[in-house]
């Protein structure tokens, strides 16, 4: 497959719009409504359990037939009054949480629980008297005082449960924020690595255009056009890190056009990619620095014609992309790795961890090849130790 079959226009036509990839957010119930239903459900369950427990107790004791109406009414009064109390405790704990650095709030909560217990008792017992009055030997004030101790224990238990739930929720939110921050930092590092490639490439391209301007103005003008296409593609995909290999080849085409104009018949470029890999995701602008490295350190340093080959093959759970040049080869005293290769290595590490690999192979006077190995799935990348 020859690289000339890929053009920037084809890439723009076939690439789906970025907005289409953004999932529409799911509309949830309001948070307060969902939590309110949970609180009501919990205390309703407690009411039903208490009702059936009382009925079982009456049936076992053989005292008298179960008065289901009385049993249900008294339990509803007792347990459903905890709904607004629990709601208020949730609000208080979220606003003024108890914990490390906030233990000074404990006395305040003791006062609050006492007031809430007294208010709940003052509401419960008059309603109890209005529905099923207590025997005459029980006074309302006495029952409120006796009930206050029970209310304090009950409210303290509820406060402990609410505090534990909110503490766990805060931990999960903290972990989520840390994960999101880590993802943002990784994205920022990738953007920095990509942005570092642009000035480096632009300087080299403008230098080539400047050199050609004095020999062939029309060719230099055509190079500027292709350079503009490449820069436009770069800006259009500013926040994109991975694209199908098909699109990466299309993005590479303007650069290859610049290279063909610069070297003319002295350079041949062959692209040999397995058709089944055209939709495989690769880092955007992966190939351009590799080809540039091959031209600058290989083809440009040898006399006569040169050849560059771009290949992609599947190797089990990985895809291997190769950029080969038959140029000057590697120097024995220096490794041919500049900004392009080093940044590409770091981008691969950021995207795939240690599952991806970039290897530079070659010998003096016998050409050089760069082998990039990428896992076929994110799961494979995650399995590898970072």
| Predicted pLDDT at 53 | 80
Confidence of residue 143 (pLDDT cuts 50, 70, 90): low
Confidence of residue 51 (pLDDT cuts 50, 70, 90): confident
Q: Spell out the residues 6+ positions from residue 202 whose beta carbon is closer than 8 angstroms to its own.
A: 227, 231
Starting at the edge strand that comes first in sequence, how are the strands of the sheet with 306-315 ordered? 267-273, 306-315, 318-325, 368-375, 357-362
Q: Would you say residue 346 has pLDDT above 80? A: yes
Sorted by where each begins, the domain ranges of the chain are: 216-383
Highest mean pLDDT among 65-74, 192-201, 344-353: 344-353
Q: Which of these ranges, 111-115, 129-133, 144-148, 298-302, has the smallest mean pLDDT?
A: 144-148
Reported as a single tens digit per residue, the pLDDT across 55-96 is 777 777 666 676 778 878 888 888 888 888 888 888 888 888
Q: Would you say residue 238 has pLDDT above 60? A: yes
Alpha helices by DSSP H, listed for 214-270, are 217-236, 245-263
**CATH architecture assigned to 216-383:** 2-Layer Sandwich (3.30)
| Predicted pLDDT at 277 | 93
Q: Would you say residue 50 has pLDDT above 90? A: no
| Predicted pLDDT at 321 | 95
Highest mean pLDDT among 70-84, 136-150, 176-190, 221-235: 70-84
Q: What percent of the chain has pLDDT over 70?
A: 72
More confident: 332 or 250: 250
Burial label, 97 (beta-carbon count in 10 A; 0-12, 13-18, 19+): middle
- Provide the sign of the torsion angle of the four alpha carbons 372, 373, 376, 379, taken in this order: negative
* Average pLDDT score over residue span 119-125: 79
Record the tokens describing residue 3, joined without a space: 């690289």
Instruction: Give helix 82-95 / helix 140-213 axis angle, nearest 10°.
Output: 40
pTM beyond 0.85, yes or no: no
The shares of helix, strand and coil residues in the chain, as percent rounded to the nearest 5, are 65, 10, 20
* Average pLDDT score over residue span 235-249: 79
């Amino acid at each position: 497959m020859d690289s000339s079959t890929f053009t920037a226009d084809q890439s723009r036509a076939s690439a789906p719009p970025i907005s289409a990839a953004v999932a529409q957010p799911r509309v949830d119930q309001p948070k307060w409504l969902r939590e309110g239903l949970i609180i009501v459900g919990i205390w309703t369950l407690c009411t039903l359990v208490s009702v059936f427990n009382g009925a079982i107790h009456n049936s076992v004791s053989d005292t008298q037939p179960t008065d289901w109406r009385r049993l249900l009414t008294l339990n509803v009064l007792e347990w459903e009054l905890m709904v607004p109390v629990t709601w208020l405790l949730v609000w208080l704990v979220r606003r003024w949480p108890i914990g490390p650095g906030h233990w000074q709030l404990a006395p305040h909560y003791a006062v609050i629980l006492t007031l809430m217990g007294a208010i709940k008792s003052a509401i419960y017992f008059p309603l109890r008297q209005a529905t099923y009055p207590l025997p005459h030997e029980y006074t309302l004030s006495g029952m409120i005082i006796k009930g206050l101790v029970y209310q304090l224990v009950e409210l303290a238990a509820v406060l402990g449960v609410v505090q534990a739930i909110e503490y766990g929720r805060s931990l999960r939110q903290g972990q989520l924020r840390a994960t999101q921050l880590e993802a943002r930092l990784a994205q920022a590092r990738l953007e920095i690595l990509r942005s570092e490639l642009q000035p480096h490439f632009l300087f080299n391209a403008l230098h080539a255009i400047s050199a050609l301007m004095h020999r062939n103005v029309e060719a230099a003008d055509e190079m500027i056009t292709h350079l503009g296409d490449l820069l436009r593609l770069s800006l259009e995909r500013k926040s994109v890190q991975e694209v199908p290999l098909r699109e990466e080849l299309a993005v590479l085409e303007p650069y290859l056009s610049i290279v063909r104009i610069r070297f003319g018949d002295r350079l041949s470029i062959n692209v040999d990619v397995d058709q089944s890999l055209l939709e495989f995701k690769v880092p955007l602008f992966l190939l351009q620095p590799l080809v540039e490295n091959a031209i600058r350190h290989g083809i440009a340093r040898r006399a006569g014609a040169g050849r560059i080959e771009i290949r992609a093959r599947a190797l089990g759970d990985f895809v291997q992309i190769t950029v080969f040049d038959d140029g000057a080869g590697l120097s024995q005293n220096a490794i041919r790795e500049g900004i392009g290769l080093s940044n590409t290595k770091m981008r691969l590490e950021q995207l795939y961890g240690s599952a991806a690999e970039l290897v530079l192979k070659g010998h003096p006077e016998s050409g050089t090849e760069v082998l990039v190995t990428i896992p076929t799935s994110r799961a494979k990348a995650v399995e590898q130790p970072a």
